[in-house]
Structure formats: structure tokens, C-alpha cells
Amino acid sequence: SMNNLATTFGRQGRWKEAEELLVPVTETRKKLLGLEHPATLESIGNLALTIKSQGRLSEAEELEVQVLETRKRILGLEHPSTLRSMNNLAFTWKKCGRSAAALKLIEECVLLRVRILGTDHPDTVSSHEALLAWQAEDAREMETDSSINEDLDVS
């Protein structure tokens, strides 16, 4: 119930209140269920999203990497929860300015989601839209960089 209430607070943008609930939920789940239990990983992932929403990107990244690596090991690369973690980490890396790493990860996520969930699944569509937007952004940046270099070469 506390986890669900924290999720509701998060959807309302009440990030601090969500975090105040998620920290004890996560710690309790770690103690009772262990670090590799799906419910514990769910809480850690939710905590990471909450922290990221407050601008604490490095803390969020650390948690998201932990969740992704654990889910890969326990559930496998093709499990929907693993793919959700992959998607979330890609968005964090993008916010951190690690565009190349984010783009590579979201590309992998899209390919796997298409194969596992299908092209019309909402998660696939969402990741694919992000991929297209990020690719377009990179293309615009390359054009800008190219035109800047061309301007600098003019005598």
C-alpha cells in the first residue's frame, strides 16, 4: 500500500512525499525479500524515478544500473521488466548528457521490445518515439556542428 501511495504521489508530482514513502518500503523489502526479489527491484526502480524527477541524476543512475543489471541476471535480457529498466536508464543517461550511450541503449531496447512485445505495444511505441526524436536531435546537432566548421573556414 505504501508503494502504491508513493506511486500516486509521484504521478501528482509530489516527489518528496513519494520518496519519504519509498525509502522505508525499499529498505523493508530488501531486508525481508532480498535484493534480487522482483518487488524489491520494483521499489528501487520507483525510488530511482522519484529521485530523478527531483534532479538527482547521479543517484538515480546508480540505482537504475543496479536494477537493470540484477534484472538481466535474474529475469533475462528479454523480460519486460528488464526492458523497462533499460528504457529508464537510457532516459537518465540522456538527461545526464550521455547522448551516445543513451541512443545505443534505447536502440537495443526498441529492437528487443519489437521482438518481444510487438510493434504496436505501448511500451514499444514509446521507446521507438524516443529513439526517433533522439536520432533527429543528433542529426540537427551534426548539421549545426558542420555549419559552424564551415563558417570558421571562411577567410
pLDDT tens digits, one per residue of 70-86: 999 999 999 999 999 99
What is the band of 27 on the pLDDT scale with cuts at 50, 70, 90? Answer: very high
pTM: 0.87
pLDDT tens digits, one per residue of 124-148: 999 999 999 999 998 888 777 655 5
pLDDT tens digits, one per residue of 32-64: 999 999 999 999 999 999 999 999 999 999 999
3-state secondary structure the chain: CHHHHHHHHHHCCCHHHHHHHHHHHHHHHHHHHCCCCHHHHHHHHHHHHHHHHCCCHHHHHHHHHHHHHHHHHHHCCCCHHHHHHHHHHHHHHHHCCCHHHHHHHHHHHHHHHHHHHCCCCHHHHHHHHHHHHHHHHHHHHHHHHHHHHHHHHCC
What is the band of 65 on the pLDDT scale with cuts at 50, 70, 90? Answer: very high
C-alpha grid cell, residue 87: 528504457
Average pLDDT over all residues of the chain: 92
The count of other CB atoms within 10 Å of the CB of residue 12 is 10
Q: Cell 521507446 belongs to which residue?
A: 127
pLDDT tens digits, one per residue of 84-109: 999 999 999 999 999 999 999 999 99
The yes-or-no verdict on residue 153 having pLDDT over 70 is: no
